[in-house]
Amino acid sequence: MRIKILLTGSSGYIASCFNSLYQSRFSIYCLDKKKPKFFNKIKKGKFIKCNLLDKKKLKEIFERIRPDLVIHLAAQSTVNEKIKWNDYYENNVKATKNILDIMKMFKIKNLIFSSTASVYKEKKNKILEIDKLKPNSKYGKSKLIAENLIRKYENINHIILRFFNVCSALRKPLIGEFHNPETHLLPVSITKLFNNQIIEIFGKDYKSKDGTCERDYIHIKDVCRAVTNSSMLLLKKSKNYTLNIGNGKTISNLDILRSLKKITKKNIKFRFVKKRKGDQPRLFCNTDKAKKIIDWNSKNSNLRKIILDEIFWNMYLKKKGIKRKLLNE
C-alpha cells in the first residue's frame, strides 16, 4: 500500500513541483485554498479545496484521509513590509496550530514543515542550525513562532527544513515558479531581460564582495529531494530534526546579472534602487547536518543550470502566451 501524504499549499511553487515529481510514487492529497495552476497536473480526485483556518473542514479531511505524513508547505511567504502582521500570523502560525491540533486528535505522528533562512541573525560565515535566531522580517518572525509551536507537540515527530533561496524550474515534468506578482530576483531579471526592460537591484552598499546582497540559491529539484528524503526518514525513525537546505555558496545580485549576460550574450540594462527594509547583506548555510541525517546534498544548484532551467521555463510561459506579472506593473 502506498504512503498517504497530505500536502498543504499544493498550488504553490515548491508543493506543485514536489507533487509533479512524486505523485506516481506516493498517494498525495493536495490541499490548498486556491485551485491548482494550469501546469500543476494533480491526479483526478486528489485536489481538496480548503482554507487551513477552517478547522472544521480540516478535521473532516483528516478524518477521511488519515494520512501517514503531513507535508506542510502552505504559507504567506512574500517578504513585503506592506503586508500586515495579521496576514503572516493567520497563515503561518494559526494555520500551523490548526494542523497540529488535528494531527494530535487523530494520532498522526509525522510532520515535515517548511521554514526559512529568514529566521537567522545575519552572519558573515556559513550559518549552522545552532546559530542565533533573530528574524528581521515579519515573515521570518512568523515562521520562527511556528517552529517553536511545533516543538511543543511532543507526540508529533517532525523535521523542520529551513530553505534558503529556492529557485529555477523542473524540465521533466516542465514546471516552475509562477507568483502573482513575481518578486524574486532571478525570474524577474530573466523576464525583464527578454522584454528589454531595466532590471532593478536593491542596494549597492551592503557589506559584501560587490556591494549587493549575497544569497544561497538552491535549485527546486534539490529542494524536492530534501523533502522526500526527510519524509522517508521520518516514517522510519521517530526523531525530530531541524535542517538547513541550501547550496552552501554565496551568489550576489551582480553575479546573477553577469552570468545572465554570459549565457544569453545579451546586454543587461540595470539600475540600483533603494534598499528594501529587512534585506540582509549575506545569507548562506552549512548543510553538513542534512548530508548526515537525510543523505542529501545539492546536485543541481550550480548557477549556470539554475539560470538555463529558469530561461527554459520562461520561454515556455511566453510560448503559451502567459505573461508574468511583476511587482509595480
**CATH code for position 257:** 3.90.25.10
Q: 111 with 159, same domain?
A: yes
Backbone region of residue 9 per phi and psi (left: phi > 0; alpha: psi in -120 to 50; beta: other values): left
Q: How far apart are CA 179 and CA 324, in angstroms?
A: 8
Which segments within the chain are labelled E, that is strand? 4-8, 27-32, 47-49, 69-72, 110-116, 157-163, 165-167, 199-202, 214-215, 217-219, 241-245, 251-252, 270-273, 282-283
Q: Concatenated DSSP letters for 197-232?
A: -PEEEE-S-SSSSSSS-EE-EEEHHHHHHHHHHHHH
Q: 193 with 155, same domain?
A: no
CATH of the domain at 31: 3.40.50.720
> Is position 13 within any domain?
yes
> Is position 22 within any domain?
yes
Looking at residue 16, what is its pLDDT?
A: 94
Q: 18 with 134, same domain?
A: yes
* Closest C-alpha to 158, from 82, 47, 56, 239: 239
Q: 164 with 255, same domain?
A: no
- Distance between alpha carbon 16 and the CA centroid of its chain, in Å? 11
Looking at residue 328, what is its pLDDT?
A: 63
Q: 112 with 206, same domain?
A: no
Q: How far apart are CA 11 and CA 48, in angstroms?
A: 11
Q: 201 with 263, same domain?
A: yes
Q: 235 with 276, same domain?
A: no
Q: 36 with 142, same domain?
A: yes
Looking at residue 18, what is its pLDDT?
A: 97
Q: How far apart are CA 226 and CA 113, in angstroms?
A: 12
Coil vs helix vs strand at 170: strand
Q: How far apart are CA 321 and CA 259, in angstroms?
A: 26
Q: Which domain holds residue 29?
A: 4-168+217-245
> Is position 176 within any domain?
no
What is the full per-residue pLDDT of the chain (329 aa) written as tens digits? 899 999 999 999 999 999 999 999 999 999 999 888 766 778 888 999 999 999 999 999 999 999 999 999 999 988 777 889 999 999 999 999 999 999 999 999 999 999 999 999 989 899 999 999 999 889 999 999 999 999 999 999 999 999 999 999 999 999 999 988 888 999 999 999 999 999 999 999 998 999 999 999 999 999 999 999 999 999 999 899 999 999 999 999 999 999 999 999 999 999 999 988 778 889 999 999 999 999 999 999 999 999 999 999 999 999 999 988 887 65
